[in-house]
Structure 1
Amino acid sequence: MARFDLLTCCLQALLALALIAAGTFLPSQAQDPSRLSLSYYSKTCPTVQDIVRSEMDCAVKANPRNAAFIIRLHFHDCFVQGCDGSVLLDDTAILIGEKHADQSANSLQGFELVDKIKEKVEAECPGVVSCADLLAIAARDATLLVGGPYWDVPVGRLDSKTASVDLANSDIPTPQQNLATLIAKFLEKGLSVTDMVALVGSHTVGMSRCVNFRDRIYGGDFLLTSKNEPASQLHLAKLKEVCPADGGDDNVAGLDYYSPSVFDNAFFESLLQGSGVLNSDQEMYSSFLSFQTSHIVDKYWADPEAFFKDFADGMVKMGNITNPEGGEVRKNCRFINT
């Protein structure tokens, strides 16, 4: 069985390398951003940016974790059917939402904040601004409000009338996956290896549930990559306090233990030290395939401005993944229009 797993891993790695070498990627289901522009709401809802910024400012001041919640919602949205608001849909008699996906259930938060922003926007510009656009703008503002970079957000997305829990389970990267699989998943969306490392850098303000890193801290991988350094042993002890060997699945720990409430480049230092909380994060610096990514990690730790620029560029690129099936402008982000 171990030999088969090793062979599978090697084949995945070769596939990812072939894609990289070819300078191409697997066909994405949503690669037409032609509808998007910076001036899309200039006449129909010119105050939308101000409304979103004001609501996000209040929310982040009340709880800095709201920034990470919104950034993650936007990521999950764009990786399933494109950035179309499908992640926001609740279950109905005819629709199973993506909130039940393995990487979303008991994990994604921020839906009530999206509802509040949508209510404010609808009061000012009824039936004009899509939930997908609202989420994209809010993710930019969330980043900026905790110290991260600014970028202009192209808008004009439509809200999907469908959701796909199956695609959410298959397309969204997981904390346990190896680097070859992670690279392939980003390439499939038209996102490069550099985009991937930069976007994963959003973990600088992220938290993870114990269930996602228990195997790493109790299985020996953490000590292996961190080389038993005293500082790493102290970090490991703190992680075990948060995450016992049994129970406490929903307990959380910061993915950046240096400055978990500030968007900066400190997250990458933990990877250099081998102390990344998630296996998928540490793979970018410690796996046999990390020659594709470790130099980018080194660059971002040495040059925070380079990280900020690449993160902003990656967010625009990811945000430009639209749903080719089209859609509508939902009145309520949780339900399709009737």
Structure 2
Amino acid sequence: MFLRATVKFVVQDAIKNEARMGSSLLRLHFHDCVVNTIVKSAVQDEINKEARMGASLLRLHFHDCFVNGCDASVLLDDTASFIGEKGAAANLNSARGFEVIDQIKAELEKQCPGKVYCADILTLAARDSVFILGGPHWRVELGRKDARTASLDDANKDIPLSNWTLGQRAARFNALGLSTNELVALAGAHTMRQTKNSTSVKFDKNYYTNEAEQSEDRDNTQACPVMLINGKATKSIVNRYGDNPNAFSADFAAAMIKMSEIKPLTGRDGEIRQNCRRVNN
């Protein structure tokens, strides 16, 4: 038992160290073109057409980073050599925004051909979606290369599902170097969802205030919002964010930066895809 626990912690430490080494190679001004301006303008246009697209782009970034790091593998279509992640349980019939990334990539190929990674586009699009909908802004370091493969099995195994317990979620976050506090902060991204009784979409603290108010009326502890307010390690964090929107915004931004730097492909690994849906020939 002791040996098994020791091996577990050694593996987790190795994963965290690998993530730190990769993130140290990212740079704020990696590209010598106006990539930030082009991405933000495109995201703004799409959100003006459909506000909930912001949440979709953010979710796409989450699901990308949780499967073998932030490498744009979620964008790849199936090929003869691998089955991609779009058909995973957490993505099938729900993941969207692929066409938006395609449009941004096409424009960047006109302005800066062969220079901008799809993984960086996805990271910037998520950040800009949050900011445009009223959330915090944070600096994004760039240089995440694009993966040459994807894995349906890994996506099914590694992306949290709605029926996961709080313990399962915390374990998955911890394996990626993310704390329980960061789990709660990142869960606040659900505030951007368009509710059934509202036509507006915005980023605010209501996710936490609503969960605190509804927790006594709902007994489905498998639902992520309810499990957070009922969790011993998370209840105080939910209440703090509900009372202090500035603390939530600051922690959310910090957690997004950390998540976006999970195991990026740098150096000789990966490539700059010409088309985000397929690897280069």
1:270 to 210, 213, 219: 210
Query: Is 1:185 aligned with 2:175?
Result: no
Partner of 1:281: 225
Answer with 1 or 2: which has the greater Rg: 1
Separation in 2, partners of 1:174, 1:166: 14
Q: TM-score scaled to structure 2, two decimals?
A: 0.89
The 10-residue stretch of structure 1 (50-59 or 274-283) with the greater mean CA deviation from structure 2: 274-283
1:328 to 271, 274, 277: 271
Is the 2:135–2:249 contact (alpha carbons within 8 Å) kept by the matching residues of 1? yes
Separation in 1, partners of 2:146, 2:137: 24
- Note the C-alpha offset of 1:138: 0.6
Partner of 1:234: none
Give the residue type in structure 2 aligned to 1:295. S
Query: Is 1:73 aligned with 2:60?
Result: yes
Is the 2:144–2:265 contact (alpha carbons within 8 Å) kept by the matching residues of 1? no
Separation in 2, partners of 1:53, 1:26: 35
- Note the C-alpha offset of 1:167: 1.0
Is the 1:27–1:188 contact (alpha carbons within 8 Å) kept by the matching residues of 2? no
Give the residue type in structure 2 aligned to 1:301. G
Unaligned runs of 5+ in 1: 1-14, 208-252
SS of corresponding position for 1:35: coil
Correspondence 1:63-212 to 2 at 5 A: 63-206=50-193
Is the 2:71–2:265 contact (alpha carbons within 8 Å) kept by the matching residues of 1? no
Partner of 2:245: 304
SS of corresponding position for 1:335: coil
Correspondence 1:248-267 to 2 at 5 A: 261-267=201-207
Is the 1:175–1:281 contact (alpha carbons within 8 Å) kept by the matching residues of 2? no
Is the 1:160–1:323 contact (alpha carbons within 8 Å) kept by the matching residues of 2? no
Partner of 1:33: 23
Is the 1:118–1:332 contact (alpha carbons within 8 Å) kept by the matching residues of 2? yes
Is the 1:25–1:188 contact (alpha carbons within 8 Å) kept by the matching residues of 2? yes
Separation in 1, partners of 2:198, 2:226: 16
Separation in 2, partners of 1:206, 1:65: 6
Q: TM-score scaled to structure 1, two decimals?
A: 0.74
Separation in 2, partners of 1:94, 1:321: 25
Give aligned pairs, total. Answer: 265
The 4+ residue runs of structure 1 with deviation greater than 4 A are: 24-27, 257-260, 275-278
**CA spacing shift, 1:155–1:163, aligned 2, 3 Å:** same
SS of corresponding position for 1:99: coil
Separation in 1, partners of 2:13, 2:43: 35
**CA spacing shift, 1:69–1:303, aligned 2, 3 Å:** same
Separation in 1, partners of 2:199, 2:174: 30
Is the 1:84–1:323 contact (alpha carbons within 8 Å) kept by the matching residues of 2? yes
Deviations 1:179-224 (A, max 9, x none): 11110010011001111101010000126xxxxxxxxxxxxxxxxx
Deviations 1:52-93 (A, max 9, x none): 011011100110011001000000000001000000000112
**Root-mean-square deviation (Å):** 2.2
SS of corresponding position for 1:98: coil
Give the residue type in structure 2 aligned to 1:263. F
- Note the C-alpha offset of 1:34: 1.9
Give the residue type in structure 1 aligned to 2:133. V
Separation in 1, partners of 2:87, 2:250: 34
Deviations 1:134-192 (A, max 9, x none): 00011000000110100000100000001011111111111111111110010011001
